[in-house]
Amino acid sequence: MRITDPTDEAIRAAATIIRGGGLVAFPTETVYGLGADALNPIACARIFEAKNRPRFDPLIVHIAQIDQLDDLCTAVDAMARNLAERFWPGPLTLVLGKSDLVPEIVTAGLDTVAVRMPAHAVASRLLEGADTPIAAPSANPFGYISPTTAQHVDEQLGERVDMILDGGQCPVGVESSIVDLTAGRPVLLRAGGVSVEDIEAVVGSVEVSAASPERVLAPGQLRNHYSPRTRLVILASHHSCAPVNERAGLLAFRTPADAEHFSLVEVLSPAGDVREAAANLFSCLHRLDRAGLEIIYAEPVPESGLGRAIMDRLRRAARD
């Protein structure tokens, strides 16, 4: 059985797979990651193959202890330390200058590296057991909806993974926020599990990087990232449409009054809480995408706190 409960024995087996150059999918507080030994370039190449991921898209390196930053990065300044101390372990990724220890394939040839210390207990135990940093993108085929359960990983990558550690549903549900610290000022490359408001409370103001097709810094910035296969349209406001199409689904923020107009309704948060909505986002999208619908309508959510990350994912999922 590829999907395994995270017993001590399973963690030891998973750590042995990582040490041997294999691939282990594991839960983090954000989404499931597809992990390999970050210091082993051949193991990291397997990640790109398994995901059909373009080689220009660099990987995040996961660590167990803050002081590993000094091995992987050059010039860890006060701002980096403040952010790490405030938000780690947790859903924040820092981009810093890379040390020679980090293989080129991990950073796709960039001279910077993205690092984070995850908060999920299974991820921490695996990192401790493997005793090496673990490079891990989200465990989905490139461009598709990120996995928030072990079953999502199994459905999407199945045989390509040596082992899937099952930690249940990811509590945060959207990927980490990525902050680039290499420009002398903090730049947000991806909205995610730590809100911009919380980051700004530590570093003052944060520049929000605009996606640029010419220079994609974080391919999470690619327009069609996180896409379901079914067409997705964001409604202008709550219930601005009564669909004529019989096979229309609704991704609702709160419990809707007019559910009968849709063949499937998924509710992100019955009480309208953006944190709960983020935790449910990708599971709801997976279910809608599997339902054989012609179109998925998505309600907008308030764009504060984690609502910003949710709207970012929805805009990218909405194809032109």
Chain residues binding ligand TXA by CB under 6 A are 28, 30-31, 33, 57-60, 91, 93, 95, 107, 110, 112-114, 116, 118, 136-138, 175-176, 178, 189, 217-220
Q: How far is the CB of 69 from ligand TXA (least distance, A)?
A: 14
Q: How far is CA 208 from CA 46, 155, 200, 310, in A?
A: 32, 34, 11, 16
Site for Mg ion in 226-255 (CB under 5 A): none
Q: How far is the CB of 299 from Mg ion (least distance, A)?
A: 24
Q: Residue 60 binds which entry of ligand TXA, Mg ion, none, with Cβ cut-offs from 5 to 8 Å by kind?
A: ligand TXA
Q: Which single residue brings its beta carbon nearest to Mg ion? A: 138
Whether the CA torsion 97, 31, 228, 303 is positive or negative: it is negative
Q: How far is the CB of 205 from ligand TXA (least distance, A)?
A: 20
Specify the DSSP class assigned to residue 150: H
The Cα–Cα gap between 22 and 2 comes to: 13
Pairing, β 177-180 against β 187-190: antiparallel
Among 30, 112, 138, 283, binds Mg ion (CB under 5 A): 138
Judged by CB under 5 A, the stretch of 61-69, 94-102, 135-143, 161-169 that binds Mg ion is: 135-143
Interaction between residue 177 and Mg ion (CB under 5 A): no
Q: CB burial class (10 A; 0-12, 13-18, 19+) of residue 233?
A: middle
Q: Which residues of 239-270 are buried (b: 16+ CB within 10 A; e: fewer)?
A: eeeebeeeebbbbbbbebeeeebbbbbbbbbe
Closest of 319, 315, 282, 318 to residue 301, by C-alpha:
315
Q: How far is the CB of 163 from ligand TXA (least distance, A)?
A: 16
Q: Which residue has the tokens 């953006």?
A: 274
Closer Cβ to ligand TXA, 171 or 249, answer by number: 171
Closer Cβ to ligand TXA, 44 or 298, answer by number: 44
Closer Cβ to Mg ion, 192 or 249, answer by number: 192
The amino acid that residue 65 corresponds to is Q
Q: How far is the CB of 218 from Mg ion (least distance, A)?
A: 10
Q: Residue 280 binds which entry of Mg ion, ligand TXA, none, with Cβ cut-offs from 5 to 8 Å by kind?
A: none
Q: How far is the CB of 118 from ligand TXA (least distance, A)?
A: 6
Q: Residue 113 binds which entry of ligand TXA, Mg ion, none, with Cβ cut-offs from 5 to 8 Å by kind?
A: ligand TXA
The Cα–Cα gap between 189 and 208 comes to: 7
Interface characters, 63-102, with Mg ion (x: CB under 5 A)? ----------------------------------------
Interaction between residue 156 and Mg ion (CB under 5 A): no
Closer Cβ to ligand TXA, 140 or 293, answer by number: 140
Angle, to 10 degrees, between the axis of helix 121-130 and the axis of helix 8-19?
A: 50
Closer Cβ to ligand TXA, 103 or 220, answer by number: 220
Q: How far is CA 176 from CA 9, 21, 116, 125, 212, in A?
A: 29, 25, 9, 19, 20
* Helix/strand/coil for 155: helix
Q: Residue 72 binds which entry of ligand TXA, Mg ion, none, with Cβ cut-offs from 5 to 8 Å by kind?
A: none
Q: Are 22 and 43 in contact (CB under 8 A)?
A: yes
Q: How far is the CB of 249 from Mg ion (least distance, A)?
A: 23
N- to C-terminal Cα distance for the chain?
A: 40
Q: Give residues in contact with Mg ion (CB under 5 A).
A: 138
